């Protein structure tokens, strides 16, 4: 399966940061990547970023969207608007949205539907907290999130799942390789139970402190079909180093 390496800039980046996206695009144009490459900058930069990478190997995505297409929702952005600005994907249900915006699974499921309605790939984030892991509940938490956030009538080709243990995000800590393997296998099993053979085609990304130094090891784990990268995706040099570290590159 072709890997997906997706960068999540979060609330970072002014127009000057478009230079990093241009540098990434240029770097990859010289040696075309064996993986799909996506950058999700803040919404203010999507349209310009999409223009900057046009025709190149980098795709642009959003970090969240509203469940509805339009309406009286001050400050919100719809999936259709992201698409119109040039995005082809959107991150949904990130733990920071769940925590700081109290996003519940049912809302996230509606957003996944919205992404599909607009023709965007939905990158659905799931993952346990440190306490839940210590309680031995990581598998159960992720299973519940998947069950509740994936709508029944979803097109498998437009769904990506990102397993992101919350305690690994922005902390420099990562699970041990066998722990990643175990969680990804569990996610794969749930997806195939739900979608049959098609469940095997859904990419499962790992996210949480992926860096140039650990990318090769993490990306070699079975059922790790790519990565969702925060801090290390903002500088083109770091993101390029991660892309080049991917096995088979």
Q: Is 238 in the site for ligand PGA (CB under 6 A)?
A: no
Total of chain residues touching ligand PGA, rule CB under 6 A: 13
Q: Is 229 in the site for ligand PGA (CB under 6 A)?
A: yes
Which of 52-77 are b and which e, b meaning 16 or more Cβ less than 10 Å from the residue's Cβ?
bbeebbbbbbbbbbbbbeeeeeeeeb
Burial class (CB in 10 A: 0-12, 13-18, 19+), 189: middle
Window 149-178: contact mask with ligand PGA (x via CB under 6 A): ---------------x----xx--------
Positive or negative CA dihedral for 240, 245, 248, 249? Answer: positive
For the CB of residue 185, give the shortest distance to ligand PGA in the complex, in Å.
21
Q: Smallest Cα–Cα separation from 169: which of 225, 223, 104, 229? A: 229
Nearer to ligand PGA, 80 or 229 (CB): 229
Active-site residue, from 94, 96, 116, 184: 94
Q: Smallest Cα–Cα separation from 61: which of 80, 75, 43? A: 43
Task: Return the residue of 207, 218, 219, 226 that touches ligand PGA, per CB under 6 A.
Answer: 207
List C-alpha distances in Å: 83 to 60, 73, 87, 120: 10, 18, 5, 7
Window 5-44: contact mask with ligand PGA (x via CB under 6 A): ---x------------------------------------
Q: Is 221 in the site for ligand PGA (CB under 6 A)?
A: no
Burial class (CB in 10 A: 0-12, 13-18, 19+), 4: buried
Q: Is 63 in the site for ligand PGA (CB under 6 A)?
A: no
- 147 labelled catalytic: no
Q: Is 226 in the site for ligand PGA (CB under 6 A)?
A: no
- 164 labelled catalytic: yes
Q: Is 62 in the site for ligand PGA (CB under 6 A)?
A: no
The residues carrying an active-site annotation are: 94, 164
Interaction site with ligand PGA (CB under 6 A): 8, 164, 169-170, 207-210, 228-232
């Amino acid at each position: 399966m072709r890997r997906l390496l997706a960068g999540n800039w979060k609330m970072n980046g002014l127009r000057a940061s478009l230079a990093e996206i241009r540098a990434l695009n240029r770097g990859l144009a010289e040696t075309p990547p064996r993986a799909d490459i996506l950058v999700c900058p803040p919404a203010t930069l999507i349209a310009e970023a999409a223009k900057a990478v046009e025709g190149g190997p980098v795709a642009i995505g959003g970090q969240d969207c509203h469940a509805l297409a339009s309406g009286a929702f001050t400050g919100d952005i719809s999936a259709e608007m992201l698409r119109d600005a040039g995005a082809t994907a959107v991150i949904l249900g990130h733990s920071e949205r769940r925590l700081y915006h109290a996003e519940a699974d049912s809302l996230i499921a509606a957003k996944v539907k919205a992404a599909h309605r607009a023709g965007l790939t939905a990158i659905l984030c799931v993952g346990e907290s440190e306490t839940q892991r210590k309680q031995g509940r990581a598998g159960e938490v992720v299973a519940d999130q998947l069950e509740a956030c994936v709508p029944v009538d979803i097109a498998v080709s437009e769904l990506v799942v990102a397993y992101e243990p919350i305690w690994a995000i922005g902390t420099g800590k990562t699970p041990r390789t066998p722990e990643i393997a175990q969680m990804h296998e569990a996610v794969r099993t749930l997806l195939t139970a739900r979608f049959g053979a098609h469940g095997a085609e859904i990419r499962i990304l790992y996210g949480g402190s992926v860096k140039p130094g650990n990318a090769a090891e993490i990306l070699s784990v079975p059922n790790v079909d790519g990565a969702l990268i925060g801090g290390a995706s903002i500088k083109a040099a770091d993101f390029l180093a991660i892309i080049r570290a991917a096995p088979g590159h």
